[in-house]
Amino acid sequence: MKTPVSVLRLPRGPDPNSRGFDPNSARFLALCPTTVSASSAADAHGVALRDEQRARSLLRERFLRSLLAMCGRPVRFSMYEKVQVEAKFGASDIDVLNFQVSDLQTPIGVQKEALLRCPDIITYNFEI
């Protein structure tokens, strides 16, 4: 009987929690252009880079705090196909790909629990 070829391990499967494309992979770091010029400037340790990173962290923190502020509040979503719905915001997933909402008001009734796809959302607003 023939011996089967040995393998070191099995191929890694998809991560259930993210869509992948690891930003720390060698390929990503080498090929990904940043949107702000300071990061790609030759003077990588300069003042401009520091300011840019500070601005990025401020904006990111502000966005995350805005998501926190939304929790439990009614939010109005404007989506594609001229869809306007209102729901109570629950949480976002880690990649901000889905929003978990409750009591989603739709033209065909109120959905107790729902998941909204973020790529389908154009704008959303709520009151603090």
Partner 1 sequence: MAMRQTPLTCSGHTRPVVDLAFSGITPYGYFLISASSCKRYPCLLCCFSLDGKPMLRQGDTGDWIGTFLGHKGAVWGATLNKEATKAATAAADFTAKVWDAVTGDETLTLAHKHIVKSVHFTQDSNHLLTGGNDKVLRIFDLSKPEADPQEIAGHTSAIKKALWCNNDTQILSAAEDKTVRLWDRSSMETVKTLAFDVAVSSMEYIADGEILVITYGKTIAFYDALDQRAKFSTVDAPTSIHSASLHPEKDFFVAGGDDFKLYKYDYSTKEELESYKGHFGPVHCVRFSPDGELYASGSEDGTLRLWQTAVGKTYGLWKCVLPEELVSENSDTLYCPATEIKA
Site of interaction with partner 1 (CB under 8 A): 2-15, 19-23, 25-28, 30-32, 97, 119
Q: How far is the CB of 118 from partner 1 (least distance, A)?
A: 10
In angstroms, the CA 1 to CA 6 distance is 15
From 93, 92, 115, select the one nearest 102 (Cα to Cα): 115
d(CA 29, CA 46): 19
Q: How many other C-beta atoms can be found within 10 angstroms of the C-beta atom of residue 77? A: 21
Least distance between partner 1 and beta carbon 10 (Å):
5
Give the nearer residue to partner 1 in terms of CB position, either 46 or 119: 119
Closest approach of partner 1 to the CB of residue 22, in Å: 8
Cβ proximity to partner 1, 8 vs 128, nearer residue: 8
Residue whose pair of structure tokens reads 């500070």 in the numeric block: 54
